[in-house]
């Protein structure tokens, strides 16, 4: 049973470009969470999704950031017009319905030049 898969592992973008981060949850998991981690810091919650539904996006910046979890395919975290401050590690986690613990992917390291 494969774990949470995130790709790409590393992503380099220039300022103003778009970044698309993908996350495939563990088999049987219907909930996906995205977190951002800056160097030497803890994880900051961004968004919580179920299939075709955003449950909680209280941690998402108001502009340029969006997330989706379609009926088919991976969850996508999209950052438009990236800026240097978006450079961070972005982690996806998944869980089954009603579960309390999260299973994390290995993260995508986004570097904005």
Closest approach, Cβ 83 to another protein, in A, equals: 23
Interface residues with another protein (CB under 8 A)? 4, 31, 33, 35, 41-45, 48, 55-56, 59, 91, 93, 95, 97-107, 109
Between 17 and 37, CB nearer to another protein: 37
Closest approach, Cβ 102 to another protein, in A, equals: 6
Between 68 and 104, CB nearer to another protein: 104
Between 65 and 91, CB nearer to another protein: 91
In whole angstroms, what is the distance from residue 105 CA to residue 80 CA?
22
Concatenated DSSP letters of 23-89:
EEPPTT--EEEEEEE-TTS-EEEEEEEETTEEEE-TTS-SSSEEEE--SSS-EEEEE-S--GGG-EE
Among the listed residues 34, 7, 4, 16, the one whose alpha carbon sits nearest the alpha carbon of residue 86: 16
Closest approach, Cβ 21 to another protein, in A, equals: 13
């Amino acid at each position: 049973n494969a774990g949470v898969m995130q790709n790409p592992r590393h992503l380099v973008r220039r300022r103003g470009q778009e970044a698309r981060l993908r996350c495939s949850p563990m088999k049987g998991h219907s909930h996906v969470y995205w977190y951002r981690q800056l160097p030497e810091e803890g994880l900051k919650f961004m968004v919580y999704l179920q299939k075709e539904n955003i449950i909680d996006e209280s941690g998402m910046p108001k502009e340029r950031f969006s997330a989706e979890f379609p009926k088919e395919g991976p969850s996508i975290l999209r950052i438009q017009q990236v800026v240097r401050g978006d450079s961070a590690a972005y982690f996806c986690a998944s869980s089954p319905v009603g579960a309390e613990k999260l299973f994390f992917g290995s993260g995508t390291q986004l570097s904005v030049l």
